[in-house]
Amino acid sequence: MADKFTHLLDRLEQFNSNEVVKYESNYLRGTIDAGLKDPVTGSVPFNDTLLLKFHGIYQQDDRDLRAERQHRFLEPNYQFMVRVRIPGGLLTKQQWIGLDDISRKYAERGLRITTRQTIQFHGIRKGNMKKCMQALRNIGLDTIAACGDDSRGVVCGGNPMISAIARKVQEIARHTSQRLIPKTGAYPEIWYEESRPVQPVDAEPMYGPLYLPRKFKVGFVVPPTNDIDVYGQDVGFIAIVQNNKLLGFNLCVGGGMGQIDAREDSYPRLAQEIGFVQTEEATEVAEIIMGIQRDYGDRQDRHQARFKYTLDRLGMPWFLDELQKRRGKPLAAAFPVKFTKNGDDIGWQCGDDGLWQGTLYIESGRVNGALRDQLAALLQQYEGGIRLTTNQNLQLTDIHDYALPHLKIRLEDLGLDTLLKPNLQAAYTISCVALPTCGLAMAEAERYLPEFLPKFNQIKAKYGLEKLPITLRITGCPNGCARPYIAEVALTGRAPGLYNLYLGGSHTGNRMAKLYAKNVNEMKILTILNDLMQRYKLLADSDEKFGDFLVRTTLLDEAAAPVEHA
Ligand code: SRM
Ligand code: SF4
């Protein structure tokens, strides 16, 4: 095995400390098992916190309680976030019921639908971790590579319930996820307590003992809806459909949203379309590109380790050449592609197979309290499937004509019908988790959205813009978990109550937004938006999107040097 990776192992001494932790972990085992059994602390040793990520788990602590516990000389309120692997967001009804059950038994704050269409649990205690993971296995789910330096949950847009093409793309996304996950036996050993077979010589044939330099994200999308924000993925596949047949995919590479305000050499980046691959080549191409990033990604500086930086450092001609060498042939030319929208179609839709689906708006993806109970009650008499979206919403899928009237009545009886017709803006708005669980949050996001959104809507209403969809994203820090830098309007947290305001991304997610004002509070943000929407009302072309208007009328030039207001 090692031979395949000597080019990396020979340089281990030059690499950052995470690389050494991975190398010494015996393929992600570390001392995780022993740490879970230590009753003295609610935490696990530091190195194991790094390894746990590959198992889909983050050690966190409740930040609302930090100061008080410190004052009382107590250790932080340690708890774990568990992220499930649900490629393409597809679940059966039984799986949802199982997830709901896990959330009640082991988690706090219910279930959280993420911006990569999976479920996260928050607040799981160390002593419950194995039970949680085994309960997931019992419903046919796992958390492998949901976090960590590996290929993360593969996202798939285009709504597989609506067309045969999208269903095919969904299958490829699932297959790709399966192919790209680590193959180490550590996962079943630790979580399911399966006995350890003799370690194969090639324990990680694709990854090797150092895995990837950083996270790696793959997504599939079916135009005309760019619901997954394909240009924000490390590797994106855009379905090309002709005469109702899936020809293959335009390939785009090098997207990424993360940035650190303190580092000028960090930046969000749009993926570039570089060519076309046949349908049956997609998974292999994803694997090849992952291999290139494994071999050439920066393993010294983790802040420069994402694939987008590898591309910018080594150059696109180099990358295309390397890809061609590894594939044995060049890419075909990309097809012209047009996206016309983003977000989800909330409400009812009928697929080409005559089955219905209802998309429910879930604010910030949080399913807890009454909503969790209402959905649980609904599922008691429900025969369809479930799909989670990258806009944090939940779809009821595969509903036959004959079942629809009854389902509509049940939704009404349970008070869930309102989620099928929220305010239009809601469908274009997402926020990340942020406080109290996210260790990197500098400001509120999920808990701020319910305050901010009505105020945003009030301004829209003042200028009669209720029917104008504007992609709006809020994050608690610059990391960009709600993909803010491609939104028409975005707030990224800087400090409690203060945000950077980004404006002018395209509605379809293929143009970057620009930093308009730095460190602004709510009053300033609302004043700026009020001013811009007033101008939009007066000057916009008919059907012009808000982001396009800001760019066309060069209002964004004002931001050449973003205003600092703190
Ligand atoms: Fe994220 C780190 C939550 C999608 C970029 N993200 C985190 C952590 C794990 C914080 C940490 O490292 O300690 C957050 C856990 C919060 C919590 O308490 O749950 C977190 N990210 C999320 C989720 C749950 C946001 C949400 O509200 O839904 C999303 C889970 C997706 C999933 O199911 O896999 C989530 N994160 C994203 C996305 C969007 C996407 O992938 O489409 C991005 C931008 C795309 C990208 O990766 O470039 C994103 N998360 C980051 C980054 C910045 C990475 C970088 O390149 O610099 C971090 C920080 C890091 O990795 O160092 C981060
Ligand atoms: Fe946490 Fe920042 Fe991601 Fe929000 S954007 S979840 S605050 S890392």
pLDDT in tens, 256-301: 999 988 899 999 999 999 999 999 999 999 999 999 999 999 999 9
Distance CA(35)–CA(386), nearest Å, equals 36
Cis peptide preceding 469, ω within 30 of 0: no
DSSP-based three-state secondary structure for 13: helix
Decide: 269 in ligand 1 pocket, CB within 6 A: no
Cα-to-centroid distance, 451 and ligand 2 (Å): 18
What does the block give as tokens for 537? 């009302």
For residue 1, pLDDT beyond 60: no
What does the alpha-carbon distance between residue 562 and residue 81 come to, in Å, rounded to a whole number? 36
| CA nearest ligand 1 atom 43, residue | 481
**Given a cut of 70, is residue 561 above it in pLDDT?**
no
Q: How far is the CA of 461 from the centre of ligand 1 (A)?
A: 32
Question: Is any atom of ligand 2 closer than 6 Å to the C-beta of 491?
Answer: no
Ligand 2 in contact with 311 (CB < 6 A)?
A: no
Query: Looking at beta carbons, which pairs linking 31-39 to residues 24 or more positions away fall under 8 Å?
Result: 32/186, 32/190, 33/189, 33/190, 36/126, 36/129, 36/130, 36/190
Nearest-ligand number for the alpha carbon of 150:
1
- The two three-digit tokens of residue 228, written as one number: 């997954």
Ligand whose nearest atom lies closest to the CA of 499 = 2
Q: Which residue has the tokens 């038994």?
A: 105
Flag whether pLDDT at 104 surpasses 70: yes
DSSP state of 79: E
3-state secondary structure of 428: helix
Ramachandran sector of residue 261 (left: φ over 0; alpha: ψ -120 to 50; beta: rest): alpha
- State the average pLDDT over residues 152-170: 88
Total-model pTM: 0.97
- Sign for the CA dihedral angle at 423, 392, 533, 223 comes to negative
Instruction: Report the pLDDT value the prediction gives residue 161, as an integer from 0 to 100.
Output: 66
pLDDT (0 to 100) of residue 178 = 97
CA–CA separation, 67 vs 407, rounded Å? Answer: 47
Q: Where residue 566 falls among pLDDT bands split at 50, 70, 90?
A: very low
pLDDT the model gives residue 545: 97
Report the catalytic residues.
Answer: 83, 152, 215, 217, 432, 438, 477, 481
In the sheet where 366-367 sits, what is the strand order?
57-61, 78-83, 119-124, 108-113, 366-367
Name the residue with the closest Cα to ligand 1, atom 45.
257
Q: State the average pLDDT over residues 117-124.
A: 98
Output the pLDDT for position 60.
Answer: 95
Least-confidence region, from 342-346, 371-375, 546-550? 342-346
Residue 165 sits at φ, ψ, to 5 deg, of -60, -50
Residue with tokens 């990854």: 207
Residue 347, strand partner residues: 359
For ligand 2, the distance from its centroid to the CA atom of residue 320, given in whole angstroms, is: 33
Q: Is 475 in the pocket of ligand 2 (CB under 6 A)?
A: yes
The answer to whether residues 120 and 83 touch, using CB atoms and an 8 Å cutoff, is: yes
pLDDT at 558 over 80: no
Q: Is the CB of 364 under 6 A from ligand 2?
A: no
Grade residue 200 by pLDDT with cuts at 50, 70 and 90.
confident
pLDDT above 90 (res 564): no
CB of 437 closer than 6 angstroms to any ligand 1 atom? yes
**Gap from CA of 530 to ligand 2 centroid (Å):** 27
Which ligand has the minimum distance to the alpha carbon of residue 63?
A: 1
Provide the pLDDT for residue 145: 97
Q: What is the reported pLDDT for 199?
A: 72
Q: Does position 416 have pLDDT exceeding 70, yes or no?
A: yes
Q: What is the pLDDT of residue 162?
A: 75
CA separation for the pair 144, 114 (Å, rounded): 16
48 confidence band (pLDDT: 50, 70, 90): very high
Ligand 2 contacts CB of residue 479 (under 6 A): yes
